[in-house]
Structure 1
Amino acid sequence: MKKVVLFKGVSEDYEKVFTDNDYEVVFVEPLQFSFINLDQLKEKLDQDLFDGLILTSPRAIEAVAKCWDPAKFVLWNTKRIYSVGHTSCQRISMLLGLEAIGGTSGNAQNLAKIIISENSKPHKFLFPCGSLRSETLPTMLSEADMTVDAITVYETKENENLRKDLMELNESAPTCMVFFSPSGCEYIYRQLQTFNNRLSVLPHFAIGNSTAHKIENLGLEIAGVATQPVPESVMESVKTYFATEGTVS
């Protein structure tokens, strides 16, 4: 049974998809997060100043949930809520009771295109985000004469246990690794340079293009990129690679 390393927090969905395909799964979280500016976020959520809400990460959704109360539903249920990926849309529904658009977008660029196509006149959106956010979405919306009020609601840092986790992983003979964020890639490879390891030569897979580009910028090759940020697509990219390798050999 092949062992795959997923550089993310433990996920039952990912574990089920990989184990159903005869892969052993190891989860390693390279990041840790701390919430900030929640008082400011709560104040903005209470005001009827925005045409919609953009939530592109699980932590942004959690930050809004920390400031949420049932009274806000009446205000925000009449506005458009945008997110990236089915999982995030489901989480918005579960935590906030709101229906989100963008489940099939896959990335910030595609989501921005959806927002622009659905809003023919200038709109103002609230965009709770992280300290390492990409500027792709705000830039595209700004160029389309839309206003984005970006508020940083969480900070991303390196997991304090990352080096120890990587050293233990180095002894466990995994077959491949899947990366889920550009910042995670950076922290992982910063630590891998501090000790002799066998991990750097393993096949590297990415959840999306931004993460893939970060891996390539680190001078590494990409074995596959998921077509959608969902477990099934990640699994398919891994299976396709090893099926091709088996044919070649």
Structure 2
Amino acid sequence: MKKVVLFKCESEDYQKAFNDNNYETVFVEPLQFVFINTDQLTAKLLQKDYDGLILTSPRAIEALSKTWDPQKFVIWNTKRVYTVGEASCHKIKLLLGLEALGATSGNAENLSKIILKDNSENSSFLFPCGNLRSETIPSTLQASDITVDAVTVYETKENENLKMDLMKLNNSEGPCCMVFFSPSGCEYIHRQLQTFSNELKHLPHFAIGNSTAHKIENLGMEIAGVASKPKADSLVESVQKYFSDVEGS
């Protein structure tokens, strides 16, 4: 059974998808998060002049959940909430009780198109985000005269145990490939792999989406495959295709 390294927090969905296709999974979390600006976020959620809410990361959803009060923020029940992917839609429903749009968008660029299609000029959106956010959504919407009020609600940092985890992984029975889930995670992992002799950096590199793939390439590494959608099944398909092509050549 091939061993796949997933650089993310443990996930039953990903574990099951790979196990069902005869792959063993190993999860390594390269990131840690610190939630900030809770009072500022609460004050903005009480304002009535927003037309909607944009939540593009699981951590932003978690940040809201820490201050969320359904009775206090009932005004958001009638506003549009946008996110990227089915998993985030489910998380928003579970933690905030809100229905979200954008389940099929897949990335920030496509989500921007959906928001532009749904909303008129001079609309205004609250955008809780991280300190390493992409500017794709703010720049695209603002170019069409839609206001985006970005408030940083969490900071992304390198997991203090990352080097130790990578060294343990390098000393374990050989993984067949590594899968990356964020540009910042790519950077932290790449930097740590330069600090000790290892075989990990020679493994095939896969990415959950295009922004992560571009980061891997910018760091001077080759991409073996990119998931067609940010979903476990799509990622498994990408990995399977690569090894099928390699073993068939």
Partner SS for 2:113: helix
Q: Give 1:75's aligned residue.
A: 75
Q: Give 1:8's aligned residue.
A: 8
Letter paired with 1:15: Q
Letter paired with 1:233: S
TM-score scaled to structure 2, two decimals?
0.98
User: After superposition, where does 1:93-112 map in structure 2 within 5 Å?
Assistant: 93-112=93-112
Residues of 2 paired with 1:219 and 1:208: CA distance? 17
User: After superposition, where does 1:111-190 map in structure 2 within 5 Å?
Assistant: 111-172=111-172, 173-190=174-191
Indicate the larger mover: 73-82 or 162-171: 73-82
Q: Alpha-carbon deviations, 1:25-59, whole Å to 9, x = none?
A: 00000000000001000111112120000000001
Residues of 2 paired with 1:8 and 1:22: CA distance? 20
After TM superposition, give the deviation of residue 246 of structure 1 in Å. 1.2
- 8 A Cα contact 2:46 2:73, kept in partner: no
The runs of at least 4 aligned residues of structure 1 exceeding 2 Å deviation read: none
Q: Give 1:236's aligned residue.
A: 237
Q: Give 1:198's aligned residue.
A: 199
Q: Alpha-carbon deviations, 1:189-225, whole Å to 9, x = none?
A: 1000000000011000000000000000111100000
Letter paired with 1:236: E
TM-score scaled to structure 1, two decimals?
0.98
After TM superposition, give the deviation of residue 73 of structure 1 in Å. 4.9
- 8 A Cα contact 2:121 2:144, kept in partner: no
Partner SS for 1:121: coil
Residues of 2 paired with 1:73 and 1:168: CA distance? 46
Residues of 2 paired with 1:135 and 1:72: CA distance? 30
Residues of 1 paired with 2:107 and 2:234: CA distance? 14
Q: CA RMSD in A?
A: 0.7
Q: Give 2:49's aligned residue.
A: 49
After TM superposition, give the deviation of residue 236 of structure 1 in Å. 0.6
- 8 A Cα contact 1:3 1:24, kept in partner: yes
- 8 A Cα contact 2:45 2:73, kept in partner: no
Q: Give 2:225's aligned residue.
A: 224
Q: Alpha-carbon deviations, 1:105-138, whole Å to 9, x = none?
A: 0111110010001112320000000000000110
Residues of 2 paired with 1:223 and 1:73: CA distance? 45
- 8 A Cα contact 1:45 1:72, kept in partner: no
Gapped regions of structure 1 (runs ≥ 5): none
Partner SS for 2:78: coil
How many pairs does the alignment contain?
248
- 8 A Cα contact 1:206 1:225, kept in partner: yes
- 8 A Cα contact 1:73 1:97, kept in partner: no
Residues of 2 paired with 1:189 and 1:43: CA distance? 39
